[in-house]
Amino acid sequence: MTVGLFVPCYVDQFYPKAAIATLELLEKLGVKVCFPERQTCCGQPMANSGFAHLTQACDELFTKSFADFDYIVCPSGSCALHLKDHLHSSKHPEKAKQIQLKIYELVEFLVDVLKVQDLEARFPYKVGLHQSCHGLRGLKLAQMSELVAPAFSKPLQLLSMVEELEMVTLSRKDECCGFGGTFCVAEEAVSVKMGKDRVADHIANGATYITGVDLSCLMHMEGILKRQGSEVQIIHIAEILNAS
Amino acid sequence: MKDHSELSAIFNADEQRVNWHDETLWWIRQKRDKAVKTLPEWELLRENASQIKQHTLSNLSAYLEQFEAKALANGVKVHWAANAAEHNEIVLSILKRNGINRMVKSKSMLTEECHLNTFLENNGIEVIDSDLGERIVQLAKEPPSHIVLPCIHKKKEEIGELFHEHLGTPVGEADPQVLTEAARQDLRNVFLTRRAALTGVNFAVAETGEMVICTNEGNADMGAHLADVHIASMGIEKLVPQRRHLGVFLRLLARSATGQPITTYSSHLRTPRSGQQMHIILVDNGRSQQLGRESFRNSLKCIRCGACMNTCPVYRKSGGHSYQYTISGPIGSILAPNLDMKKHADLPFASTLCGSCTNVCPVKIDIHNQLYQWRQELVSAGYVDAKKKWGMKAMSFLFAHPSLFSWAGKVGRRLMTAAPYLFNNKLNPWYNQREMPSAAKQSFREWYKQRAKNES
């Protein structure tokens, strides 16, 4: 099995540690991983702003870079969901469709494809899990609080395998952090307020780390935490699952 | 005109008030959760409701004709209004014909949509809203900020001041029970003296020609039963085919709206009592147009429960008035652009696309997908500012050229480290209240290349 690693543009530039942890974790689990160098972005920043028609070149580049892998894994629920829902290639329509079926967010790949039962990881801290909306409600990584349906959580399933890690319970377990792509600058006031309230929930419940499957949300909350001078840190779930 | 973002910034100037607004609505979302979780069949009910509405919308003209025929046979006068102006004229003409210049009105979002009150007042007709929340915003000369809880933006002390001014309650009186009693006494006199009553319609049944009006206050019943002339205004999407379908919708409506098992009053009205006139106005006002928009037609399934507003973090933290449309929140943001794309171009962007609205919707409208789709439509139609357009073009160019992306990333990260003032300034809306992420010394792709080199 060869996995193509898709590292979202901003993770590549700002959070390489999360991508390195993803790569190392997959390799530790015996997966052959390849990072196609001509990859850039999933196209979501344009599409979510109403410019889906401008993502053609981006889509073609993605299709070309990733068509030949057995699976594509991405340490971001939002980017994975965008590709699953919207990737389109006019040059290679079939290849793009295949990609949509074999692209996975990291956590769902670990749980659903690799069926990971145990991990050698240790993280002796109190951790709050931020349920990023696209991973939660788009990829259904966990049960959504709005529905009348049995509970499950793929991220928690994995985090429960980490030694000495203590999860904190939040008062609003799956509320949006307010990042929302260009929303965070276009609707600055509401975005910041949403972020402040999320962060406050984690802090009030004693978290020293906030983790999640999407660095975009974590980056937003990090910006707020740092401005507040808080010592609470953000950390991508891959870094915890890869921690020893 | 200020847009949603600017009005939200004003709303957010008072953070304590935002917290109060947010928590009040979140409390209702929690009440809803508690209520729906008592029904193991909840998700099946939602699916049934969705399919009944889909079916009705797909056969709308036939059901409308069936409804009209039944209503006529029941002795009801049926009127058809293509738009808001026609609706308002019909109401005025009915009142004039009967020599009436004062009317009592129960809750009807459709009449808000048509701006009926202003129209009637300009034509010398006095209108008094009898729903308590609607009465409060009417006295305050404000539009409702929520479709189910019209004055949810007002604190009880502010309502006390308003009642002191208009209804003569003592200064400083803010006890909800006392204030409600004052409104009751005042409205009782209104009910007894008005010869015409206008009501909304929650559901209309095609097979019987009856309508169902749901209230907690019984005010629609008081109006309709006491008046000589009852006018019911309904959007053409309010139909259900058969009476038995009400069993699905009445179980969903109040649980979704407030967490109650059912509204206090679910009144079925079919025939006028002896000597009474009963009119039904079937209003289109953009609905057929929306029905013709493939991506958006299922927004017409909406039963106006307001659950999407209560769950929406953007709504809770920006307030209903920031939407500047009769129906605020997520559902309003997909309905409003249908009527006026240019005026409401800001609304589909007033969302993080978190998807909670879609999950609480009792008729399973995929609201967040439609918000995404409206963004595409609005940009294609040119309702987007030029700065954003050029920014997006530059971004898509960058992402189409991997070496340029790599190079720009490196230069950008170096600049962020060497000249942080270029980013950390007032022109950057991120930086206003948030720190910028720190630029990594080495991008992942640089690290990956180096690792390959080290290994070989």
- What pLDDT was estimated at residue B426? 86
- What's the rounded Cα separation, in Å, for the pair B224 and B197? 6
* Domain closes at, from B288, B305, B321: B288
Nearest CA in chain B to A7: B444
- What's the rounded Cα separation, in Å, for the pair B134 and B66? 33
Task: Look at chain B and report how many structural domains it folds into.
Answer: 2
CB contact under 8 A, A186 and B5: yes
Q: Is B358 within the bounds of a domain?
A: no
Nearest CA in chain B to A51: B376
- What pLDDT was estimated at residue A190? 98
Q: What are phi and psi of A196, to 5 degrees?
A: -60, -45
Q: Is B108 within the bounds of a domain?
A: yes
* Domain closes at, from B233, B267, B288: B288
Residue B3 predicted with pLDDT over 90: yes
- What pLDDT was estimated at residue B292? 97
**Terminal Cα-to-Cα distance of chain B (whole angstroms):** 63
Which string of DSSP letters, residue by residue, matches B358-388? HHH-TT---HHHHHHHHHHHHHHTT-S-HHH
The answer on B417 and B283 residing in a single domain is no
Is residue A75 within 8 Å of A25, Cβ to Cβ?
no
Cα distances (Å, whole numbers) of residue B303 to B50, B90, B107, B248 = 10, 24, 14, 12
* Domain closes at, from B288, B315, B332: B288
Q: Which residues of B touch A45 (CB under 8 A)?
A: 392, 395
Q: What is the pLDDT of residues B388-445, one digit of tens each?
A: 899 999 999 999 999 999 999 999 999 999 999 989 998 899 999 999 999 999 999 9
Q: What are phi and psi of A126, to 5 degrees?
A: -90, 125
Q: Which residues of A touch B380 (CB under 8 A)?
A: 50, 53
CB contact under 8 A, B435 and A223: yes
CB contact under 8 A, B375 and A50: yes
DSSP A113: I
pTM of the model as a whole: 0.97
The one-letter amino acid at A128 = G
- What pLDDT was estimated at residue B380? 96
What does the radius of gyration of chain A's CA atoms come to, in whole angstroms?
A: 17
The answer on B178 and B46 residing in a single domain is yes
The one-letter amino acid at B146 = H
Helices (H), B60-171: 60-73, 84-97, 109-113, 116-122, 132-139, 156-167
Q: What is the pLDDT of residues B180-233, one digit of tens each?
A: 999 999 999 999 999 999 999 999 999 999 999 999 999 999 999 999 999 999
Nearest CA in chain B to A188: B429
DSSP A142: B
Residue B102 predicted with pLDDT over 90: yes
List the one residue out of A125, A41, A144 whose CA is nearest residue A83.
Answer: A41
Q: Is B139 within the bounds of a domain?
A: yes
Residue range(s) defining the domain that contains residue B101: 31-288
What residues of chain A score a pLDDT lower than 50?
Answer: none
- What's the rounded Cα separation, in Å, for the pair B452 and A116? 27
Q: Is B224 within the bounds of a domain?
A: yes
CB contact under 8 A, B433 and A219: no
Q: H helices then E strands: how many in chain B?
A: 21, 10
Residues with Cβ < 8 Å from B311, sequence gap 6 or more? A146, B29, B356, B357, B359, B360
Give percent of chain B above pLDDT 70. 100
Q: Is B72 within the bounds of a domain?
A: yes
The answer on B245 and B105 residing in a single domain is yes
The one-letter amino acid at A45 = P
- What pLDDT was estimated at residue B252? 98
Given pLDDT bands bounded at 50, 70 and 90, which one contains residue B456? confident
Is residue B243 within 8 Å of B195, Cβ to Cβ?
no
- What pLDDT was estimated at residue B321? 98
- What's the rounded Cα separation, in Å, for the pair B417 and A108? 35
CA angle A141, B360, A173 (to 5 degrees): 45
Distance (Å) from the alpha carbon of B324 to chain A's nearest alpha carbon: 16
List the one residue out of B329, B324, B340 whose CA is nearest residue B286.
Answer: B340
The answer on B193 and B44 residing in a single domain is yes
Residue B386 predicted with pLDDT over 90: no
Q: What is the pLDDT of residues B155-181, one digit of tens each?
A: 999 999 999 999 999 999 999 999 999
Interface test with B, best of A48, A82, A148 (most B CBs within 10 A): A148
Q: Which residues of B touch A40 (CB under 8 A)?
A: 398-402, 405
- What's the rounded Cα separation, in Å, for the pair B455 and B14? 58
Q: Which residues of B touch A49 (CB under 8 A)?
A: 349, 375, 379, 388, 392
Q: Is B277 within the bounds of a domain?
A: yes
Interface test with B, best of A9, A13, A86, A133 (most B CBs within 10 A): A13
B5 vs A38, A40, A187: nearest CB: A187
Cα distances (Å, whole numbers) of residue B386 to B366, B382, B389 = 30, 9, 5
Distance (Å) from the alpha carbon of A223 to chain B's nearest alpha carbon: 4
CB contact under 8 A, B313 and A178: yes
- What pLDDT was estimated at residue B455? 86
Residues with Cβ < 8 Å from B31, sequence gap 6 or more? B258, B259
- What pLDDT was estimated at residue B12? 98
A190 vs B8, B37, B429: nearest CB: B8
B42 vs A19, A148, A194: nearest CB: A148
Mean pLDDT of B283-288: 98
SS3 B239: strand
Residue B322 predicted with pLDDT over 90: yes
List the one residue out of B69, B72, B93, B70 whose CA is nearest residue B81.
Answer: B93
Question: What's the CATH code of the domain at B220?
Answer: 3.40.50.10420
What does the radius of gyration of chain B's CA atoms come to, in whole angstroms?
A: 26
Instruction: Classify the phi-psi angles of A176: left when phi > 0, otherwise alpha if psi is within -120 to 50, otherwise beta.
Output: beta
List the one residue out of B294, B248, B234, B295 whose CA is nearest residue B63.
Answer: B234
Q: Is B356 within the bounds of a domain?
A: no
Q: Is B52 within the bounds of a domain?
A: yes
